[in-house]
Each structure stands twice: as C-alpha cells, then as structure tokens.
Structure 1
Amino acid sequence: MIKLIASDMDGTLLDSKMGISKDNASAIREAERLGIEFMVATGRAYTEAKPALDEAGIECAMITLNGAKVFDKAGNSLFTAGIEKKTTAEIMDILDANQVYFEVSTNKGIFSEHQEKRIENFAAHIATTMPHLTYKVAIAMAAAHLSLLDINYIDDIRALLQQDDIEILKIIGFSMEGPNVLAPTSAQIRQIPDLVVTSSAQNNIEVNHKNAQKGIAVAHVAKDRGISEKEVMTIGDNFNDVSMLQWAGVSFAMGNAELEVKDHAKYVTSTNLENGVGEAILRAIREDL
C-alpha cells in the first residue's frame, strides 16, 4: 500500500480557478485518514503555493521550485539546492540574447524587472493549462492571482548577484513564441554544467541546479521517512514532473498531460478540471496500488 503521495499543482491539483476542488481536498483527507501522507511537489515558490493549500485547509510538506527548496509541514526548510551566481550570470546572458523574459526565485523571494510582462506571461501559462478560458479572462485571473503574491520588482535583476545573502534557487524564462524560441534557448543553457532544464507549460523553461529535481526531492523525503519507492505515488502533468513519475512505484499522469509525459507514468487519470488528482488517490486506495 502507498504511504506517501506527491502531487504537482498547476495543471494537476489546481482547477480552473487556480484552487483545489472540494473533491480533490476530500480525497486527500481520506488518504490522510488512512495514514497516507500527502505533499505537493511544485515549480512554484512557497509563497505562491501556500495560498491555495490554506484555502482548502490542507497542511502538508512542500517540495517547491522543482526541488530546489523543501519544507516540512510546519514550513521549516529541510534542504536547498541552489545555482551558483557565476552560473546564474551565464544563464541570464543566454536568456537576454534570445530576448526571453525571465524572473528569479531566491531565498528572499521572487524577483522580476517587468510587472506587465509577468502578468502577460503568467496569463499565457493559464491559457495553456486551461484552454477553455479566453485570453482576456486569463489576463484578469493572472492579475488577480499575482496581486496576492509577494513579488519584488527591481530595476536591475543582475544586482541580486552582488548580494551575499541572496541564494539563487530557480530561473524561469517565458516566451510568447513558445518552443520556437525556447527550444534553442534551452539547448544553449544545457551546455552549462550542473544544470537541468525542464518546463511546466509550452511558453516557459525552468532552470535549476541538477540536484533540484522533483524526483530527487521526493526520494529524499521518502528516505527520511523510511518509505521505499514502491510505497510512493506521484501525480503530474508536465516535463518538470517526469523525474518523480519515473522514480515512484505508483505514478499517474493527468488526462491533460503532455503525451510524452504520459509515457513516463504507469497510469492516467482524468484532467485537472475533472478532479483527476482525487480520482487517482481514491483509485490507488481502492485497488491497493
């Protein structure tokens, strides 16, 4: 029987309102009632992920920033896998050369140089994960969502590299041109040692230290709890979820997942708009997967 469940958030646990549905929350509570621990494994930072969990009344451990920062249930930091500042400067050079807007997640929060571009690109992300929405609605949702988050807008993002107390955890780049621009950009970044490049939507790329991967983080948490990979279940929809889908003994891809991502999962559940996470959890319990 599974003892630990790790679920992605965007395009997976979250619904069309960027929240956790009652059905998903109910299934999570049923798992916890049976002694199964639930946690999220997200590309989001802690401050971006926590509001949706709080609203649903879910308190859990959190793998954030694709595994760059892991927190226990009480919000205490367990471990960190950051990017060296010299390497960060190289990544920024490549993104700038390819005219890719980017923002930086650090131990002091998220930093961006352009508020309008952040809203525009987050809206494109919403529109990609929830294609039933109009772009106008996606813009409104993005503006409303981002207004609730603690984002730091600064004139020169490279100034972060001169601050001794700043640790770079993740860099995310966005382009409205999608893979046409991001694919060659990713290829350039992958030439830099000790990095991993993934994505959570067609219009972004996410750059982390090679040790900051969801699969590595889930394995670390499971080991700390004395749980084997056969007793772990993971759920995801995009390429930054592949490492944990491959590692876990039980893995579900969402119905809305990328086709290549589904190839790495053992099972497929319904979409994030159809309570796919709750369906997967209850199936795992019912069938003793």
Structure 2
Amino acid sequence: MIKLIASDMDGTLLDAHMGISKENAEAIRFAESKGIEFMVSTGRNYQEARSALDEVGIDCAMITLNGAQVFDKGGTSLFTVPIVPERTATILDILDAHDIYYEVSTNKGLYSQSQSRRVESFASMIASHLPHLTYKMAIAMAAANLELLHIEYVDSIRELLVDNKLEVLKIICFHMEGPQVLGPVATEIDALGDLAVTSSGQNNIEINHRDAQKGIAVAHVASERGIDLTDVMTIGDNFNDVSMLQVAGVSFAMGNAELEVKEYAKYETDTNLENGVGKAIMRAIEEEL
C-alpha cells in the first residue's frame, strides 16, 4: 500500500496558471487523510516551490533543486549535495564559451547575471510546458514570477565562488535553440564526471552533483521514514524525473510527458492541464496500486 507520494511540479502538479488546481489539492488532502504523506520533488528552489503550495495551503516536505536540497515540513534544510567549486568553475567556462545563459542556485540564494535574459529564458520554459500560451503571455507570466521570487543579479557569478561558505547546488542553462545547441554542451559537461546532467524542458539543461538526483533523494526520505520503496509513488513528466520514476514501486508519467520518459513509468495519467496528478492519486488509492 502506498505510504509516500512524491510529485514533480512544473508540467506535472502545476496547471496552466502555474498553480495547483482545486482538484489536485483535494486529492492530496484525501491521500493525507488516509495516512499517506505527500511531498513535492522539483527542480525549483525552496522559495519557488513554496509559493505555489502556500496558495492552496499545502504544507509538506520538499525535495528541491533536483535532489540537491531536502527540507522537512517546517522548512528546515535537512541536507544539501553541492557541486565542488573546481567543477563549478569548469562548467561555467564551458557555458561562457558557448554564450549560454545560466542561473546558479546556492545555499545562499539564486544568482543571475542578466534580468532580461532571465525573463526571456523563463518565458521559453513556460511556453514549452504550456503550449497553448502565446509567447507574449509567457513573457508576462515570467515577468510576474520575478516579483514572487528573490533573484540576486550580480556582475560576476564567478566572483561569488571565492566565498568558501557558498555551496553551488544546481546550475540551470537556457538556450532558445534548444537541443541543437544544448545537446553537445550537455555531452561535454557530462564527460567531466561526477555530475548529473538532465533537463526539464526542450530549452534547458540542469546540472547537479551526481548524487543530487530526485530518485536518490526520494529513496533517502523513504528510508528515513522507514518506508519500503515498493510503497512509494512518484509522478513526473520530464527527464529530471526519470530517476524517481525508476526507484518507486508505483510510478506515473503525465499525459504530457516526453515519450521517452513515459517508458520509465509503470502507469500514465492525464496531462497537467487535466488534473493528472489528482487523478493518479485517486486511482492509486482506489485500485490499491
């Protein structure tokens, strides 16, 4: 019987308004009433993830930054898995050489070197998850997101790396031409070793330490709870979700998931625009998956 549910957010739990629908929220509360713990497992940082949950009054533990940081229900950081400084510097060398925009998530916050490129890149990501939107609408949503999220804009992220108390937890990179440009770059970075290079959309790649993966984090949380992985359910839509789809006894791919991602899941649900998470939760409980 399912005892723990871990759900991705973008393209999964979140709807067309980048929020959690009433139907999804009700299904989560129903699961909790049955003694099943719900948590999110996302590429977002804590503040980004928290805002959507707060809107519907959901308090839960969180796996953030693809597994690089885990928080308990009260918001206390339980552990982090950083990229070593020397490796970070090499990654940034590669990205700069290809003129690729990137953001760096750390234990001290999120950093960017360009607000305009941030809005453009985030809009492209939103558009990839919500294809019904016009690009102009996606730009507006991206700009609104900046008001909800604290991003520190600096002249040089490299200068921050001299602070030995700063831990780089994730680097996310965007390029409008998508896989054509990012594919070779991802291969080059992956060849450095000790890294997990995934993506949450056609126009980005996400770089973490090899041990900072959603599947590893889900397994860690389950172990801490004394829950066998056969009693864990995971839900996702993209390549950064694959590791947690693989480890769980019950796994659902969204209807809007990448075709290759669907191959890793045991079940499929509706799209994120059709309350697919809520439907997966109710099916799992009703059918005792």
Question: Which ranges in structure 1 are unaligned for 5 or more consecutive residues?
Answer: none
Distance 1:196 1:256 in 2: 23
Match of 1:218? Answer: 218
Deviations 1:178-214 (Å, cap 9, x if unpaired)?
0000000000001112101000000000000000000
- 1:258: Cα distance to partner? 0.2
Letter in 2 for 1:249: G
Q: For the residues of structure 1 that align with 2:96 and 2:259, how far apart are their CA atoms?
A: 30
Q: Which amino acid aligns with 1:44?
A: R
1:62 corresponds to which residue?
Answer: 62
Residue 161 of structure 2 corresponds to 161
Cα distance, 1:162 vs. partner? 0.6
Counterpart of 1:274 in structure 2: which amino acid? E
Matched, 1:90 2:83: no
What is the CA RMSD across the aligned residues, in angstroms? 0.5
Partner residue in 1 for 2:184: 184
Between the aligned partners of 2:79 and 2:222, the Cα distance in structure 1 is 14
> 1:160 and 1:14 mapped to 2: Cα distance?
33
Look up the match of 1:103: 103
In structure 1, what is the Cα distance between the partners aligned to 2:15 and 2:53? 12
Q: How far apart are the structure 2 equivalents of 1:172 and 1:186?
A: 11
Opposite residue 183 of structure 1, the aligned amino acid is G
**Residues 113-166 of structure 1, C-alpha deviation per residue, up to 9 Å, x if partnerless?**
000000000000000000000000000000001221010000011111111221
Q: What is the alpha-carbon distance in structure 2 between the residues aligned to residue 80 and residue 149 of structure 1?
A: 21
Taking the aligned partners of 1:250 and 1:160, their CA distance within structure 2 comes to: 42
Deviation at 1:6, TM superposition (A): 0.0
Which 4+ residue blocks in structure 1 deviate beyond 4 angstroms? none
What are the superposed Cα offsets for residues 89-116 of structure 1, whole Å, 9 maximum, x if unpaired? 0000111111110010000110000000
Aligned pair 1:268/2:268, yes or no?
Answer: yes
Matching residue's letter, 2:136: K
Q: Secondary structure at the match of 1:50?
A: helix
For residue 38 of structure 2, what is the amino acid of its counterpart? Answer: F
| TM alignment of 1:1-289, pairs within 5 A | 1-289=1-289
Name the SS for the 2:105 alignment partner.
strand
Measured in 2, the distance between the counterparts of 1:77 and 1:136 equals 37
TM-score (norm 1): 0.99
Identical columns (%): 70
Structure 1 residue 226: deviation in Å? 0.5
Count of equivalent residues: 289
SS of equivalent residue, structure 1 residue 164: coil
Q: Which amino acid aligns with 1:244?
A: M
Gaps of 5+ in 2: none
CA distance in 1, matches of 2:26, 2:145: 24
